Chains A and B, each alone.
Chain A
Amino acid sequence: MPHDVIMPALGMAQDTGLIVAWLKQPGDAVKAGEGLMEVETDKATMEVEAQVDGFLSGVAAAAGEHVPIGQVVAVIADTEDAAVTVEPAAPEPQVEDARPAPSERAAPAETPREPTPQAAPVAAAGDGRILASPKARRLAREQGLDLGHLARSGARPPYHVADLEVLRAVPATAPAAAAATRIEAQAPRAQFDELLEFIAAETGAAAEPGRVFAAFAAAALREATGRETELRVGIETAGTTAPARLVDPDRISLAATCEAGPDGPADLIVRDLTGSAITAMRRDGENAVVIQIADAGAHLAIALEGALAATEAVALVNAFAGRISEPLRHLL
């Protein structure tokens, strides 16, 4: 959550503050307590400190400018990527003779700070748009390169054609991937099969188990990791070559049919081996978390493999197996 930097009231009878100098440049990393800017009031020059950790962006007032107190002069973004795209909030309209006390002004800016835990995982790029020149974007598309890799590698946007050279050299894996974890489990399949029959009866078409697995897996991953952002799930079925893609399968109707989704790497791959003799398969170079489901008599065999912390992996498999054995848990 971006944090607004406001012009503080430093004097008793003060309407504006003069920004003498910025001590940080847009895009610079800042820590809470570090000096951001020097402000001159009618009496003295003081340093204004950052209230939170992050990256300085959205600088809306330059050195030498007088800024009304309470006005947003910059934003501290959570990520370096976001630092480029975050726009400062529009300045509040000036109201003559009715200036609220500084504490009231500051209040709204304080609120978003609270839910930010100290060790929140930094989501790569988040919902921030990747900034790239039109030509770089076109060439990346033509050459099948993913500009998202550049963002995740820490390269600073906007990206130009020259950055595509760097992109070709960036390994496809996210940096510092956690060690791979492998877990196998089994879940009774009776209720799951009933669910498939129910869907088939409701829609008049045979249910796709892979589609339902994808929804369960996405929901289980969110439950295990607390992830809220968009999830791209790849669905592979034994015997078919073209994998399908779904975005947020857990947030759309289970009966919705599987369509080819957007290109790009998947966060999670669901490999549906049911109805085939194969019980497990492994492919080198897979970076996403993979959940495989295979027939095992009255049970479904579940295998998870991927770069997840062991606790998260266990929570994910438990949540997934729980949904298989009691689909109502998913629907509720």
Chain B
Amino acid sequence: MAEITLAKAVNQAIAEEMRRDETIFLIGEDVAEAGTPFKVLSGLVEEFGPERIIDTPISEPGFVGIAVGAAMTGSRPIVDLMFGDFLFLVMDQLCNQAAKTHYMSGGKLTVPMVLRTNLGATRRSAAQHSQSLHTLVAHIPGLKVALPSSAYEAKGLMKTAIRDDNPVVIFEDKLMYNDKAEVPDTEYLIEFGRAEIVRPGRDITLIGTSSMVQVALGAAETLAREGISAEVIDPRTIVPLDEDTILDSVRRTSRAIVIDEGHRSYGVTAEIASRIGEKAFYHLDAPVQRMGAMDVPVPFSPALEDLTVPTAEQVAERARLCVRGEVFDAA
């Protein structure tokens, strides 16, 4: 086991897979010489050359379209979309072409493409570079969506994504690139659709995605000192979603808070909370709670930006209300 950063874990995953399979190439803005603004891909162009690590002009629709076509015709492209916010530029390539080609070709064509991008606010990048837009693509059948929460998940999920014959979108939290975690020296994959119980507990289930797993763990730590035992679950992929692990947990604890950095309304939290309501209703002892980013454009002001994202203390406070039976009219 070695402790490495999330950036290094992604780099290792891509390098290992590119060594294994020559049909894999990587394409995007500033991916070769610059190694991305977050230095995630540093060293790859030296090993694999500019034929397989391809810098493009600033034209997201162009290079995502190229990747979709390449994937249909035998390559396994990894597309680097510098900011998750640029998804709006590539919606047709991703949602109308990549997601539907297998279905519309009667199974004759596949699109084994990975689009890696990021999410997360509080990096002072203002409203157009701070969004968490994973819910947009999770809504489209035909796309898989992975949300790594640590270096360990980032490496295992990336390798699985590259080997998947369907288009997969991976969102890394841009604030976690330097966070370290233990990663096995030997090769491993993380199966899609398998949630991880990060911390077992009895009294309440905190379901956190991506950056919010750490927030949930922080809340669980605080709650543990007060005698409240919180279980923390990381779904790891939201498409496919491991409903069974979530429902089993909620049936044991009778209470749940879903935390995700996407905007609070119409998001991942709504989807998971309603599945709990539909399938574990008679096990609930408190209304299922949702916590997400405020429904506002992410402010540039550091003081304001920090207010828009759920914190461990806010999650702990909501959990206390749930456990004490005091959530009656929560907003």
Of B128-136, B219-227, B279-287, the stretch lying at the interface with chain A is: B279-287
How far, in angstroms, from A133 to B281 measured CA to CA in the complex?
A: 9
Q: Tell me which of B281, B285, B328 contacts A136 (CB under 8 A).
A: B285
Q: Would you list 21 pairs from A and B whose C-beta atoms are within 8 A, ordered by A residue?
A: A133-B254, A133-B284, A133-B285, A133-B325, A134-B281, A134-B282, A134-B283, A135-B254, A135-B282, A135-B283, A135-B284, A135-B285, A138-B282, A158-B325, A158-B328, A160-B285, A160-B286, A161-B254, A161-B285, A162-B325, A163-B325
Given the complex, which residues of A lie within 8 Å of B282, measured CB to CB? 134-135, 138
Residues in B246-290 with C-beta less than 8 Å from chain A: 254, 281-286
Residues in A107-138 with C-beta less than 8 Å from chain B: 133-136, 138
Given the complex, which residues of B lie within 8 Å of A133, measured CB to CB? 254, 284-286, 325
Given the complex, which residues of A lie within 8 Å of B286, measured CB to CB? 133, 160
Identify the closest chain B residue to A162 (Cβ): B325
Given the complex, which residues of A lie within 8 Å of B254, measured CB to CB? 133, 135, 161
Given the complex, which residues of A lie within 8 Å of B281, measured CB to CB? 134
User: Mostly helix, strand, loop or mixed at chain B's interface?
Assistant: loop
Please name 17 further chain A to chain B contacts, defined as beta carbons within 8 Å, in addition to the given A133-B254, A134-B282, sorted by A numbering: A133-B284, A133-B285, A133-B325, A134-B281, A134-B285, A135-B254, A135-B282, A135-B285, A136-B285, A138-B282, A158-B325, A158-B328, A160-B285, A160-B286, A160-B325, A161-B285, A162-B325
How far, in angstroms, from A161 to B323 measured CA to CA in the complex?
A: 10
User: Mostly helix, strand, loop or mixed at chain A's interface?
Assistant: helix
What count of chain A residues pass the 8 Å CB interface test? 10
How far, in angstroms, from A163 to B324 measured CA to CA in the complex?
A: 11
How far, in angstroms, from A162 to B286 measured CA to CA in the complex?
A: 11
Identify the closest chain B residue to A132 (Cβ): B285
How far, in angstroms, from A158 to B324 measured CA to CA in the complex?
A: 11
Given the complex, which residues of B lie within 8 Å of A160, measured CB to CB? 285-286, 325
Shortest 7 CB-CB contacts between residues of A and residues of B: A160-B325, A135-B285, A133-B285, A138-B282, A161-B285, A134-B284, A134-B282
In the assembled complex, how far is the CB of residue B195 from the closest CB belonging to chain A, in whole angstroms? 22
Given the complex, which residues of B lie within 8 Å of A161, measured CB to CB? 254, 285
Q: Which of A134, A136, A162, A163 has the most CB of B within 10 A?
A: A134
Q: Which of A133, A138, A162, A163 has the most CB of B within 10 A?
A: A133
Given the complex, which residues of B lie within 8 Å of A134, measured CB to CB? 281-285
